């Protein structure tokens, strides 16, 4: 399943859950707070902007935001919230597509870099971020830590979330460093809907090497957007990479 098939019209129409889940204020607000602080007075570029879960409130804070997005149906939903003058979007792949201008901040949230299915594409994503950034600019990535420690010998799947109406099951192919997420949602009638998404998982140390290959240095890593300490038990991280300042003339 390629990404254009995954993020189709049906998924785009169902993606937003206003005020709940990943759209809940307690999830969105800390991310927007941190990104606004990192952007400062500069402009920001979001890779895989989607329906604007983060970009729309960030733009509302006064940060000029541009997006790159592969899925036209997702952008159509975004356009019901803001027009192109308020939040321009370039259609294309985040690993190769160029947006006009340069930025002080490029960001990529909610595990989306893992949607790129090869290591080479993920490295190109870092390089594309570097191409868009001004000297001293930052690239921010939010990403989960693979849960391989939960896998006993011979088992290929873990239960990520189990709550009323929703179960998340992740399967792992450790040879190819791939994972596939299966989202089971149940309504009151007992009927279930299955959504699935493929990923290439990335360890933090590998992510740092990708950054180095693109000219970045790791500036900070925290367990969440609020700045909690990242530890061996953290299920995810927010990593900030920075390009060096321009050398003195």
Enumerate residues 6+ apart whose C-beta is below 8 A from 31.
54, 109, 142, 225
* H or E segment to which residue 32 belongs: helix 25-39
What is the pLDDT, as a whole number, of residue 230? 98
What is the pLDDT, as a whole number, of residue 85? 96
What is the pLDDT, as a whole number, of residue 185? 87
Grade residue 19 by pLDDT with cuts at 50, 70 and 90.
confident
Residues 196-213, mean pLDDT to the nearest whole number: 96
CA distance 49 to 97: 13
42-82 pLDDT tens trace: 999 999 999 999 999 999 999 999 999 999 999 999 999 99
Find out whether 106 and 100 touch, Cβ atoms under 8 Å. no
Enumerate residues 6+ apart whose C-beta is below 8 A from 10.
none
Q: Could you tell me the CATH superfamily of domain 3-146+203-242? A: Vaccinia Virus protein VP39 (3.40.50.150)
CA distance 4 to 142: 22
Strand partners, 222: 229, 238
* H or E segment to which residue 74 belongs: helix 72-78
Residue 181: CB atoms within 10 Å: 17
Q: What Å distances lie between residue 66 and 56, 83, 129, CA to CA?
A: 10, 12, 13
Query: Residue ranges per domain, the chain?
Result: 3-146+203-242, 148-198
Find out whether 140 and 107 touch, Cβ atoms under 8 Å. yes
Q: What pTM was computed for the model?
A: 0.92
């Amino acid at each position: 399943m390629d990404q254009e098939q995954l993020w189709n019209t049906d998924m785009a129409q169902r993606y937003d859950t206003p005020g709940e889940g990943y759209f809940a204020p307690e999830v969105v607000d800390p991310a927007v707070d941190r990104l606004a602080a990192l952007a400062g007075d500069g402009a920001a570029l979001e890779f895989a902007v989607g329906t604007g879960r983060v970009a729309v409130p960030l733009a509302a804070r006064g940060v000029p935001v541009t997006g790159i997005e592969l899925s036209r149906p997702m952008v159509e939903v975004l356009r019901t919230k803001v027009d192109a003058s308020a939040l321009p979007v370039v259609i294309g792949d985040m690993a190769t597509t160029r947006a006009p201008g340069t930025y002080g901040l490029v960001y990529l949230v909610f595990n989306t870099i893992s949607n790129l299915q090869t290591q080479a594409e993920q490295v190109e994503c870092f390089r594309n971020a570097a191409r868009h950034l001004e000297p001293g600019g930052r690239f921010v990535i939010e990403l989960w830590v693979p849960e391989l420690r939960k896998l006993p010998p011979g088992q290929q799947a873990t239960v990520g979330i189990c709550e009323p109406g929703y179960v998340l099951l992740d399967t792992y192919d450790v040879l190819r460093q791939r994972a596939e997420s299966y989202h089971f949602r149940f309504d009151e009638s007992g009927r279930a809907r299955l959504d699935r998404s493929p990923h290439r998982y990335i360890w933090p140390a590998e992510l740092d090497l990708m950054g180095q290959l693109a000219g970045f240095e790791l500036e900070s890593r925290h367990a969440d957007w609020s700045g909690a300490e990242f530890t061996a038990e953290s299920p995810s991280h927010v990593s900030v990479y920075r390009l060096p300042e321009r050398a003195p003339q």
